[in-house]
A and B are shown apart, each in its own frame.
Chain A
Amino acid sequence: MATLLFLVREAFINLRRHGMMTAAAVSTLAAALVLCGAFVLGALQVVAIARRQVDAFEMRVFCRSESTDVALAEIRSRLVALPGVRKVDFIPKDQAFAEQAKGLPIDTDGVPNLFPHTYVVRFDAPDRAKRTAEQVRGWHGDVEGVDVRERELEMALRIAGFLGRIGVFGGGALLAGALLVVMNTIRLSVHARHREIQIMRIVGATSAFIRLPMVIEGILHGIAAGAVATGVLWATDRGLRSLAEDIPLLTAGASPFDAAGVALGLVGAGMLVGAAGSLLALRRHLRIR
């Protein structure tokens, strides 16, 4: 326990006395985390917006005007029983006519109501919509027609999938690049202390004794860098939202900034990279011939 306390104290002394190296490591790691964090958050927002569009997708089932309540109830129960269906809403023909009439600049008294009874179907998995529509079209009888914007849906699904893939591969590539830069910085800072490591070995320090304060330093670098990156992203988010608040199209679909989640993710990633970077960089210097 005394040794552990000593090693933690050593790490803090090193941080203080290697000011320039600490600043270099923390700023590089923070820049990498801001870059990766911004990309991931941006990608998540775009994917969420695309997903919301897909989720809002609906299929309309038109029934004959003369269908009885019994026949309509039968269609409803069949629709609800279909796989992947989340919600079924009914719009009676009178309601549909009344809603349309409200928007018309003419007197609609005496105008015949040609609207059909309509069921609006929403899905758990919108990619099933096309198949479901084909199935319902085959019901004949009281079902007059089915309207589903298949091409738009396909497009939306393709865009959502594409953005998801870009998020994974682009984010992965960005993270790998950032990791290389960070690792290199950590390696340089450890290399600058290779003489120190050599001296520690000469006085009989074990590899763990040498390694631990430097790994703790790496973790502390990561915590500081994660905190800085969270602050930068939070400020950027605030700035962007205030700029875009007059454009509801942009802000309406955006998820709120989850500061705790972002901080947890960035500080965690920073700690991991800091510790792993120190361990890998030290490996070479601790090799005993």
Chain B
Amino acid sequence: MSTEAEGNAPAVETADVPEPMIALRDVWVRYREDGPAALEGVDLVVPKGDFVFLVGPTGAGKSTLLRLLYAEARPTSGNVVVDGTDVGTLRPGQIPALRRRMGIVLQDYGLLPRRTVWENVAFACHVLGWSRRDTRKRLPIVLERVGLMHRCEAFPAELSGGEQQRVAIARALVGDPPLLLADEPTGSLDPETAAGIMDVLAGAASTGTTVVVATHDQLSVDRLRRRVVAIEGGRLVRDTPSGGYGAGS
């Protein structure tokens, strides 16, 4: 399944993967026509229920890859298919519906600053079109899951970084999405808090959610021993089914 890439042409095995949640085929991304490629011919298949770490140095293309998946960026060429939807051909009006089928966690938490913890998570429920009764029923469950029910009346500014990130994860998970994308979710957290956040994400994967995490968090990647996809200079250079952060780990 895994291959260690050498040189410019990483060999990524994509055959015999049933029901992929994510399938990228020869994907190129250039933000400017004459500029350098942010992604160069990336092939990647992520089966449903998989947990994948995207690792690589800053500017390698990890965030671009994630942005492709939630249609914040468009492929210059190639195909990006998420849960059966060809994301590259979506019309702008179809993008919100795609995003409602996934949870997205950002490094800077992305919380509404003038909304309480409860309101931040409830906002996603309203976007999903849930009734107030359903929202009231579901919210305590998901807030308990991230250990923040007792802070539900607090505003983001009153929370620590780790707590804010857990609110963001709760918001991402509240609709039980089949796919969870996290872009550097522990980037600004201490190792202990980061480990807690990664455990919450791993917990989501254990319930069948496909989880893709772009990270620099070497400790967590080495500890969890999940699939690791390494990107460098816009190319996919390593895909290890149960590896560590570094090439030799």
A residues near B (Cβ < 8 Å) are 2-3, 6, 13-14, 17-18, 196, 198-207, 209, 288-289
Contacts and interface: CB of A to CB of B under 8 A. Distances in A.
Given A3-B126, A288-B95, A204 B100 contact: yes
B171 A204 contact: no
B92 interface: yes
Nearest to B119: A13
B8 interface: no
Contacts of B112: 196, 199-200
Nearest to A286: B92
A17 B72 CA distance: 29
Interface stretch (B9-17, B103-111, B185-193, B219-227): B103-111
Given A2-B132, A203-B99, A209 B70 contact: no
B235 interface: no
Given A14-B114, A204-B101, 16 more contacts: A2-B132, A3-B129, A13-B114, A18-B114, A200-B112, A200-B123, A200-B127, A202-B110, A203-B99, A203-B104, A203-B123, A203-B124, A203-B127, A204-B96, A204-B128, A206-B93
A223 B129 CA distance: 29
A206 B96 contact: yes
Contacts of A201: 96, 99
Nearest to B177: A204
A288 to B, nearest CB: 4
A196 B113 contact: yes
Nearest to A205: B127
A5 B105 CA distance: 28
Contacts of A204: 96-101, 124, 127-128
B132 to A, nearest CB: 7
A203 B171 contact: yes
A201 B97 CA distance: 11
Contacts of A289: 72, 74
Interface of B: 70, 72, 74, 92-93, 95-101, 104, 106, 110-115, 119, 123-124, 126-129, 131-132, 171
Contacts of A209: 96, 127
Contacts of A200: 112, 123, 127
Contacts of B104: 202-203
B114 A199 contact: no
Nearest to B90: A288
> Which has the most chain A C-beta neighbours within 10 Å: B70, B96, B131?
B96
B204 to A, nearest CB: 16
A202 B110 CA distance: 9
A202 B114 contact: no
Nearest to A16: B114
A170 B97 CA distance: 49
Nearest to A198: B110
A202 B70 contact: yes
A132 B75 CA distance: 80
Contacts of A205: 96, 127
A12 to B, nearest CB: 13
Contact of A288 (B92, B119, B171): B92
A204 B132 CA distance: 18
Contact of A202 (B97, B101, B106, B126): B106
Contact of A6 (B74, B99, B126): B126
Contacts of B97: 204
A70 to B, nearest CB: 85
Contacts of A17: 114
A253 B119 CA distance: 58
Contacts of A13: 114-115, 119
